[in-house]
Amino acid sequence: MIVVERASAEDLRAIYSIGKESFNNDTCSQWPPYLFLEVAFASMPDNFIVAKHDDEIIGFVILNPNYEINGRRVCELSWIAVREKYRGKGIGSILTKEALNYVSVKYPEVELIVAYTRIDNIPIHRILRKNGFEASKKYFIYLDIEIFSQWVRRVLGAQKDEKAVILSGKEALDKLLEWYDVLPRMIEFPEGLNTFTLSSKQMLKKFWFKLEPDGFYVIMDNKLEGFGMIQTFWQHLYYGRNAWILSLLASPNRKIVWFQILNASLNYMLSRGIKTVSFTIHNSLESLTELGLKQKEFHAFPVLFWCKRLRG
Ligand SMILES: CC(C)(COP(=O)(O)OP(=O)(O)OC[C@H]1O[C@@H](n2cnc3c(N)ncnc32)[C@H](O)[C@@H]1OP(=O)(O)O)[C@@H](O)C(=O)NCCC(=O)NCCS
């Protein structure tokens, strides 16, 4: 019999092993290190769901209901996987249904539920479509670190703002929390295209910062000018150690701040042995060329971004 229930800390090893088997580090389904799971579980233990068959864990879903877009609460269906030998037997469908029910009961304030998938992952497309999700196209962009650093320096050029104060680590977190309410009014990089504008204050402190304190950057004058969050623990099958630019925000009319933050984080990336840098953009690649990046300088992998409205 298949039982679907909330995971316990003892289930993390099995979840990790299924994830490792399922997300084989290709272009868009990278699986994080075990530490990521531990920190995620410690900060949101309610949001790991497992499917069991005779007490063996055969599948899981990880949810993150701690995001906001324009003040609307958003839950990400972050990962779903079923042990290879149990696939095609309806378990992924059951897990998804249970996860959706769980979110609507446990987090009635959640208005949207979202997920990223590879463009060729037919089983998950079928599941999401059947459950009322709609897809739009996005791209994962990868750049060689050398090209990335040339690009940043090219854009900054003479525009380097010597007055800007750049904070990182705990100082950056503290400033960010102090000015947290300003963030929704900032512009995302590339303009208005990322989806996850805002993680809750709690999650910033308990999860993202805990995971990688040195990945936090804040630029300020006498007010907050920009914020960046960078993760350097991803490993890409083809491109090696990869840094994800998870958030990059700037005050309106201060887009140069994006590049100042990227520039500020470069040394840190290099010290971590990073080979490529990546981020997500929406629909069109033109915004990148407008930002001074030549087409031959980056790789763009199309992915699907799925969205289901729970209410609102
Ligand atoms: C995606 C995944 C969780 C689906 O789990 P599953 O238990 O195999 O899914 P189900 O058995 O419920 O099948 C889901 C649908 O896909 C179809 N399907 C299953 N395997 C298929 C295959 N190899 N080719 C085409 N369709 C397939 C099923 O017929 C079903 O569609 P239907 O309901 O219209 O009949 C599982 O394939 C997996 O772990 N993949 C690796 C990890 C991954 O890609 N996760 C999602 C990305 S975030």
Q: What is the pLDDT of residues 245-263, one digit of tens each?
A: 989 999 988 889 999 999 9
CA distance 111 to 69: 10
Q: Are residues 30 and 96 in the same domain?
A: yes
**Closest residue by CA, ligand 1 atom 10:** 90
End-of-domain residue from the set 132, 154, 172: 132
Q: Are residues 262 and 232 in the same domain?
A: yes
Q: Are residues 254 and 169 in the same domain?
A: yes
Give me the pLDDT at residue 99, please: 97
The secondary structure of residue 161, as a DSSP letter, is -
Q: Which amino acid is at 6?
A: R
Cα 242 → chain centroid: 13
The answer to whether position 57 is within a domain reads yes
Give me the pLDDT at residue 286, please: 87
CA distance 136 to 121: 14
C-alpha of residue 88 to centroid of ligand 1, in Å:
6
Q: Are residues 124 and 252 in the same domain?
A: no
- Tell me the backbone φ, ψ of residue 123, rounded to 5 degrees: -55, -45
Q: Which amino acid is at 65?
A: P
Give me the pLDDT at residue 162, please: 65
Q: Are residues 191 and 246 in the same domain?
A: yes
CATH number, domain containing residue 6: 3.40.630.30
Ligand 1 atom with least separation from CA of 84:
39
pTM of structure? 0.91
Our mutation pick for probing the ligand 1 site, out of 87, 95, 131, counting the most ligand atoms within 8 A of Cβ, is 87
Per the structure block, which two tokens stand in for 31? Answer: 């699986």
Q: Are residues 78 and 146 in the same domain?
A: no
**Closest residue by CA, ligand 1 atom 16:** 123
The secondary structure of residue 174, as a DSSP letter, is H
Cα dihedral 273→24→119→296 (10° resolution): 30
Q: Are residues 172 and 237 in the same domain?
A: yes
Q: Are residues 29 and 86 in the same domain?
A: yes
Ligand 1 pocket (Cβ < 6 Å) reads 22, 29, 79-82, 87-93, 117, 121-124, 126-127
The answer to whether position 259 is within a domain reads yes
Q: Are residues 152 and 195 in the same domain?
A: yes
Q: Which domain holds residue 167?
A: 140-302
Cα dihedral 196→167→233→121 (10° resolution): 20
The answer to whether position 219 is within a domain reads yes
In total, how many domains does the chain have?
2
Task: Report which of 70, 68, 305 is spatially closest to residue 199, judged by C-alpha positions.
Answer: 68
Q: Are residues 181 and 113 in the same domain?
A: no
The secondary structure of residue 207, as a DSSP letter, is I
Burial tier of 252 (Cβ tally within 10 Å: 0-12, 13-18, 19+): exposed
Ligand 1 atom with least separation from CA of 115:
48
CA distance 139 to 29: 13
**Closest residue by CA, ligand 1 atom 15:** 123
CA distance 229 to 217: 6
From first to last of the 312 residues of the chain, give the pLDDT tens digit: 899 999 999 999 999 999 999 987 565 667 888 999 999 999 999 999 999 999 999 999 999 998 887 778 999 999 999 999 999 999 999 999 999 999 999 999 999 999 999 999 999 999 999 999 999 998 999 999 999 999 999 999 867 666 779 999 999 999 999 999 888 888 888 875 555 467 889 889 989 999 999 999 999 988 899 999 999 988 877 778 899 998 999 998 888 999 999 999 999 999 999 999 999 887 678 888 889 999 999 999 899 999 999 976
**β-bridge pairing 198-199 and 56-69:** antiparallel
The answer to whether position 225 is within a domain reads yes
Q: Are residues 124 and 156 in the same domain?
A: no
CA distance 168 to 163: 16
Cα 81 → chain centroid: 18
The maximal CA–CA distance of the chain, rounded, in angstroms, is 66
Burial tier of 101 (Cβ tally within 10 Å: 0-12, 13-18, 19+): exposed
The answer to whether position 310 is within a domain reads no
In Å, what is the CA distance from 290 to each residue of 161, 190, 192, 295, 311? 21, 10, 14, 11, 36
Q: Are residues 147 and 296 in the same domain?
A: yes
Question: CB of 60 within 8 A of CB of 18?
Answer: yes
Cβ neighbours of residue 210 closer than 8 Å, sequence gap 6 or more: 39, 43
Give me the pLDDT at residue 159, please: 72
User: Tens of pLDDT along 148-180?
Assistant: 999 999 999 867 666 779 999 999 999 999 999
Give me the pLDDT at residue 26, please: 64
Give me the pLDDT at residue 194, please: 52
The answer to whether position 312 is within a domain reads no
The answer to whether position 172 is within a domain reads yes
Give me the pLDDT at residue 16, please: 97
- Structure-token match 């490529």, residue found: 276
How many C-alpha atoms does 110 have within 13 Å on its Cβ side? 26
End-of-domain residue from the set 107, 132, 157: 132
End-of-domain residue from the set 110, 132, 154: 132
The answer to whether position 308 is within a domain reads no
